[in-house]
């Protein structure tokens, strides 16, 4: 099914305004920092705050030629578990592949919700309470960056140091060093979570 | 894995073109900064606001005014650039002919997008194909790297031949997609682009000239013949500039790119991002022993008829992918390919496919089905 096996493909499901594009961008730049090739683009629709969005990210050791949207991802990241009701997040995810989701629910519960909506997913589900973690450490709901910690732990597609470095580069000027440090702390905590 | 290189960065196609423009550092950039504008001028305006470039940005009230202001600036002797897409380019249409008629070397960076109605500003080639007979050079880009490279080539080419140039990237697929690219050192770029030596600038008050006077039945015709001659000269100059560019970048851009066309029985012709997607399919089919290849258009205006016919002449079947229609006629690239083959007295089986209108996705599977003959449809919906 998958056309190019050596390209690692990720789909982010989120709602407009939740920062999926930023999350993909941080990962993309981290991978570039490590000498890899990337491609990241949103599913180009009307961007409205709160509406479901899809963002694609490819990472590869070889140049990426294709421009088709990702149809068969290796990993899916869901930033908002209410999307399970309207989006087929597990499409083309097989048993060896992973679903990382910002949720308080258990993986069994998430699997049940997917099944109730007519989906079928036998792979591993990694729920992480990214909202809770970011509220606790940062004091603001910033699931998009916190979930990156979990993402790296699960996929090892880039290194935590690269992501931290990139985060600092992109955000230090925008949000100040104190808030940046707290965000990074939250990413690291998510990375260490089992 | 490639060695870490500070010049290996990842940007959207729009930001990549803006980076090239930062290095070119035009004197004047008239802009109309609302929809359907692109990240190109947004990024460039930041460079200007941060003092990285010394460019006069003129914010105007429409695209018609943006290109009109560009005409004024360029005639005055300023290196002039602007960017637009979709309806914006359509609104510029009247002035496009004036720009080329006055032989002004303006660079227009375009994220090619659909035209209304119905309202849609997603990627396709309708806007730029509507301007294909306006006397502008047209260069198509496959990805962010090419958007960067061809912005540099386009500027130099326009100024060399005194003809305006459009550098065309696919709206969204390239303009809003983050991809790796390698940039060239500022100094090397500046040397490559060189200083603009304006011909008969209006600001040369010691040598007053008139731009755009009336030319009636006794001379208008000759102006138009001259324009065609100038356009034919683009081929020679493009080749020289592409060679110079290769020296500083190690990247080569002929009139078109051939990919696995050697001994190919079927050749697919297209422009833009679809070529990248198709290359992946070609790789797969070649491994399975299918003799298939691609011809990707870089230079669409002027159109290199002879050279293209030379590549296509030995193929058994040619498939042309267009991302625009020419309603009431045949799609633009298809028509040119037919014409090229007829001029070369090579009659071939040429199939036409239209894809991606209004941002419709194009998948590898679709391209594979056309190349293997499974899909015989004209429209790849």
The shortest CB-CB distance from B359 to any of A24, A28, A44 is to A44
Sorted by sequence, the CB contacts under 8 Å of residue A8 that are 6+ apart come out as: A58, A59, A60, A74, A75, A155, A157
Per-residue pLDDT, B147: 98
- Which residues of chain B neighbour A35 with C-beta distances below 8 Å? 1-5, 8
> pLDDT digit string (tens) for A41-53?
998 776 678 899 9
Look at B178 and A40 and tell me if their CB atoms are within 8 Å: yes
- Which residues of chain B neighbour A28 with C-beta distances below 8 Å? 10, 178
The DSSP bridge partners found for residue A98 are A75, A124
In a domain, A72, yes or no: yes
- Which residues of chain A neighbour B3 with C-beta distances below 8 Å? 35
The DSSP bridge partners found for residue A8 are A59
B7 contacts chain A (CB < 8 A): no
Distance in Å, alpha carbon of B261 to nearest chain A alpha carbon: 17
In a domain, A167, yes or no: yes
- Which residues of chain A neighbour B284 with C-beta distances below 8 Å? 3
Look at A41 and B2 and tell me if their CB atoms are within 8 Å: no
In a domain, A1, yes or no: no
In a domain, A15, yes or no: yes
B175 contacts chain A (CB < 8 A): no
- Which residues of chain B neighbour A41 with C-beta distances below 8 Å? 172-173, 176-178
> pLDDT digit string (tens) for A131-176?
999 999 999 989 998 999 999 999 999 999 999 999 999 999 999 9
Look at B8 and A69 and tell me if their CB atoms are within 8 Å: no
Look up residue B16 and give its two tokens: 């990549």
In a domain, A30, yes or no: yes
The H or E element spanning position B198 is none
In a domain, A114, yes or no: yes
Number of residues written out for chain B: 381
- Which residues of chain A neighbour B122 with C-beta distances below 8 Å? 44
> pLDDT digit string (tens) for A87-106?
999 999 999 999 999 999 99
Q: Which residue of B has its CA nearest to A62?
A: B1
Q: Which domains does chain B have, with CATH numbers?
A: 8-249 (3.40.50.970), 256-380 (3.40.50.920)
Sorted by sequence, the CB contacts under 8 Å of residue B194 that are 6+ apart come out as: B156, B159
- Which residues of chain A neighbour B173 with C-beta distances below 8 Å? 41, 67
Look at B10 and A34 and tell me if their CB atoms are within 8 Å: no
Q: Which residue of A has its CA nearest to B277?
A: A66
- For residue B157, the number of C-alpha atoms closer than 13 Å in the C-beta half-sphere is 34
Look at B178 and A64 and tell me if their CB atoms are within 8 Å: no
Count Cβ atoms within 10 A of the Cβ of residue B260 and give its class: 0-12 exposed, 13-18 middle, 19 or more buried: middle
Look at B123 and A44 and tell me if their CB atoms are within 8 Å: yes
> Comparing A62 with B37, which gets the higher pLDDT?
A62
Rounded mean pLDDT for each run of 10 residues along chain B, 381 residues in total: 61 97 98 88 96 97 97 98 97 98 98 96 96 98 98 98 98 96 97 96 96 96 97 98 98 98 98 98 97 98 98 97 98 98 96 97 97 96 95
In a domain, A86, yes or no: yes
Distance in Å, alpha carbon of A155 to nearest chain B alpha carbon: 18
Q: Residue A93's closest CA among A56, A125, A123, A113?
A: A123
Distance in Å, alpha carbon of A156 to nearest chain B alpha carbon: 16
Long-range Cβ contact pairs of B152-155 (< 8 A, separation 24 or more): B152/B20, B152/B23, B152/B24, B152/B184, B152/B189, B152/B192, B152/B193, B152/B245, B153/B238, B153/B241, B153/B242, B153/B245, B153/B253, B154/B107, B154/B109, B155/B24, B155/B26, B155/B79, B155/B81, B155/B107, B155/B193
**What are residue B349's phi and psi, to 5 degrees?**
-80, 115
Helices B274-287 and B364-371 sit at what angle, rounded to 10 degrees?
60
Distance in Å, alpha carbon of B274 to nearest chain A alpha carbon: 7
Look at A65 and B179 and tell me if their CB atoms are within 8 Å: no
Distance in Å, alpha carbon of B258 to nearest chain A alpha carbon: 15
Residue A149 sits in which domain range? 7-192
Is residue A112 pLDDT above 70, yes or no? Answer: yes
Task: Report d(CA B62, CA B64) in Å as an integer.
Answer: 5
Share of chain A above pLDDT 90, in %: 82
Torsion over CA: A138, A143, A149, A153 (sign): positive
B129 contacts B229 by C-beta, under 8 angstroms: no
B358 contacts chain A (CB < 8 A): no
Q: What value of ipTM does the predicted structure carry?
A: 0.94
- Which residues of chain B neighbour A63 with C-beta distances below 8 Å? 180
> Comparing A2 with A110, which gets the higher pLDDT?
A110
Per-residue pLDDT, B7: 64
Write out residues 274-313 of B within 8 Å (CB-CB) of A: 274, 276-277, 279-280, 284
Look at A42 and B176 and tell me if their CB atoms are within 8 Å: yes
Task: Report d(CA B48, CA B56) in Å as an integer.
Answer: 8
- Which residues of chain B neighbour A29 with C-beta distances below 8 Å? 10
Number of other CB atoms surrounding residue B54 within 10 Å? 9
Per-residue pLDDT, B33: 86
Cα B226 to the center of its chain, rounded Å: 23
Number of domains making up chain A? 1
In a domain, A2, yes or no: no
B178-182 and A37-42 as β-strands: parallel, antiparallel, unpaired?
antiparallel
The CATH number of the domain holding residue A103 is 3.40.920.10
Look at A32 and B143 and tell me if their CB atoms are within 8 Å: no
Per-residue pLDDT, A185: 94
- Which residues of chain A neighbour B358 with C-beta distances below 8 Å? none
Q: Which residue of B has its CA nearest to A41?
A: B177
Look at A69 and B359 and tell me if their CB atoms are within 8 Å: no
B5 contacts chain A (CB < 8 A): yes
The shortest CB-CB distance from A65 to any of B5, B280, B359 is to B280
Per-residue pLDDT, B3: 44
Number of other CB atoms surrounding residue B137 within 10 Å? 25
């Amino acid at each position: 099914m998958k056309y190019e096996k050596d390209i690692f493909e990720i789909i982010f499901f989120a709602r407009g305004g939740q920062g999926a594009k930023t999350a993909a961008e941080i990962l993309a730049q981290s991978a570039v920092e490590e000498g890899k090739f990337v491609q990241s683009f949103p599913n180009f629709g009307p961007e409205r705050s709160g509406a479901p969005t899809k963002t694609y990210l490819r990472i590869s050791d070889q140049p990426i030629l294709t421009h088709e949207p990702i149809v068969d991802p290796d990993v899916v990241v869901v930033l908002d578990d209410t999307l399970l009701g309207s989006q087929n997040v597990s499409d083309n995810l097989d048993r060896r592949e992973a679903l990382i989701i910002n949720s308080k629910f258990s993986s069994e519960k998430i699997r049940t919700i997917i099944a109730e909506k007519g989906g079928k997913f036998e792979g591993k589900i990694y729920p992480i309470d990214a909202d809770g973690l970011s509220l606790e450490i940062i004091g603001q709901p910033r699931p998009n960056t916190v979930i990156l910690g979990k993402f790296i732990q699960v996929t090892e597609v880039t290194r935590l140091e690269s992501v931290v470095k990139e985060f600092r580069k992109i955000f230090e000027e925008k949000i100040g060093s104190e808030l940046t440090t707290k965000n990074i702390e939250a990413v690291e905590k998510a990375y260490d979570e089992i | 894995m490639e060695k870490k290189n500070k010049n290996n960065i990842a940007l959207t196609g729009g930001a990549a073109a803006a980076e090239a423009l930062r290095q070119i550092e035009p004197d004047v950039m008239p802009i109309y900064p609302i929809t359907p504008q692109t990240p190109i001028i947004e990024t460039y305006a930041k460079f200007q606001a941060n003092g990285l470039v010394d460019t006069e940005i003129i914010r105007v009230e429409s695209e018609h005014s943006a290109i009109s202001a560009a005409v004024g600036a360029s005639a005055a002797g300023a290196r002039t650039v602007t960017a637009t897409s979709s309806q914006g380019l359509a609104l510029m249409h009247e002035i496009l002919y004036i720009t080329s008629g006055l032989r002004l070397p303006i660079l227009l960076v375009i994220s090619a997008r659909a035209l209304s109605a119905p309202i849609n500003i997603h990627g396709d080639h309708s806007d730029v194909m509507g301007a294909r007979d306006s006397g502008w050079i047209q260069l198509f880009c496959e990805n962010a790297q090419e958007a960067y490279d061809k912005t540099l080539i386009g500027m130099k080419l326009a100024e060399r031949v005194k003809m305006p140039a459009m550098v065309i990237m696919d709206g969204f697929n390239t303009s809003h997609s983050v991809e790796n690219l390698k940039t060239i050192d500022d100094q090397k770029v500046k040397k490559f682009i060189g200083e603009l030596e304006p011909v008969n600038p209006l600001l040369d008050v010691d040598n007053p000239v008139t731009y755009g006077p009336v030319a009636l039945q006794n001379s208008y015709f000759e102006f138009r013949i001259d324009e065609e001659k100038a356009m034919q000269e683009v081929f020679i100059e493009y080749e020289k500039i592409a060679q110079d560019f290769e020296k500083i970048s190690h990247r080569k851009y002929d009139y078109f790119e051939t990919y696995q066309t050697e001994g190919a029985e079927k050749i697919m012709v297209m422009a833009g991002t679809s070529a990248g997607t198709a290359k992946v399919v070609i790789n797969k089919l070649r491994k399975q022993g299918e003799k298939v290849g691609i011809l990707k258009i870089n230079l669409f205006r002027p159109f290199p008829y002879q050279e293209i016919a030379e590549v296509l002449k030995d193929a058994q079947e040619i498939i042309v992918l267009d991302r625009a229609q020419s309603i009431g006629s045949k799609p633009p690239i298809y028509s040119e390919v037919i014409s090229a083959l007829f001029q070369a007295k090579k009659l071939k089986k040429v199939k036409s496919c239209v894809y991606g209108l209004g941002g419709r996705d194009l998948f590898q599977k679709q391209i594979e089905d056309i190349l293997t003959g499974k899909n015989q449809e004209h429209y790849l919906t």
